[in-house]
Amino acid sequence: MARAVTIDECISALARQVQTPGKDWAVVGPLWNMIGSWRRFLGFLRRILTRYEAANAAYIRLAQIWQERARQEAGSGSRPPTPDEMDDWAAKRDSAEAVHLEVESFYQFAKILLDRVADTIVLYFGDKRAPYGSSHSQLVTKQFARLCSTHALAGQTVKPLMDDLHSRIVRHETDVIEHLKNPKLVPGTSFGADGRAGISMGMLAPQPEEDTFPATEDPAVLFEAIETYIEAVVDFLERHRDQSAVSGQEER
């Protein structure tokens, strides 16, 4: 179902609500700034999606050429590649790297956006931002439950979405892209019948107790999940305005 208003309009409305005249700017200023960063990073993600679509189309075209060539030559024995085939292979390798760049960029900026949303939530209710690490992770594992308990907040709608994105984006970005939790993980490129390429992780010398991480998800699908989460957060904050740090704050 299409939204009655765009996600950008939801964010703008929240920023206007926070920036109410007569409020203490020392309180509402950081909130207004954090909310503004949502639009900034959403814009970055949209640009990355556009670049991903172009990189994906190029990779899928070259991958299908190689699949068809392999099908036609199945059972005919090996032979040295022709110069044209070597050029095609190099182009396929470069296009795979372009896909990886856009997918990993999406995950990195998506995590930053989720961290800025988490910062907004804790500031909105007068709590302190996490001094280090991922703000979203801190919110999921510690702060959100405390905020809901302290301020009698109904967080049952937004919490599952928060947890879901923590698993799908934040953990993957942290453990696979940013810090590479297991140094034996090796990135490869995969695609399915839907023609959407992503990064699949293999492992050097895997041991029985070791698991690889799942392949990356379609950035367009993740973007929709992020929009749904932000929409839920905006609704959550608006419903609990009376319990917020901006409620009743007079300008000093």
Give which of 109, 99, 124, 87 is closest to 37, Cα–Cα: 109
- Cβ atoms 191, 63 nearer than 8 A: yes
**Average confidence score pLDDT of the chain:** 91
- What SS3 state is found at 197? strand
Task: Identify the bridge partners of residue 201 per DSSP, sorted by sequence position.
Answer: 187
Give me 34's structure tokens. Answer: 């954090």
pLDDT number for residue 250: 47
Q: At what angle do helices 158-165 and 219-239 cross, to 10 degrees?
A: 150
pLDDT number for residue 3: 57
Give me 72's structure tokens. Answer: 């036609």
pLDDT digits (tens, 9 = 90+) for 179-201: 998 999 999 999 999 999 999 99
Per the listing, tokens 């670049």 go with 51
The Cα–Cα gap between 199 and 99 comes to 8
Q: Where are the domains of the chain?
A: 7-243
pLDDT number for residue 252: 40
Give me 148's structure tokens. Answer: 């809901």
Question: Is the pTM above the cut of 0.75?
Answer: yes
* Average pLDDT of span 54-79: 86
pLDDT digits (tens, 9 = 90+) for 90-111: 999 999 999 999 999 999 999 9
* Average pLDDT of span 117-140: 93
Supply the DSSP symbol for 156: T
The Cα–Cα gap between 244 and 126 comes to 7
pLDDT digits (tens, 9 = 90+) for 194-233: 999 999 999 999 888 887 778 999 999 999 999 999 999 9
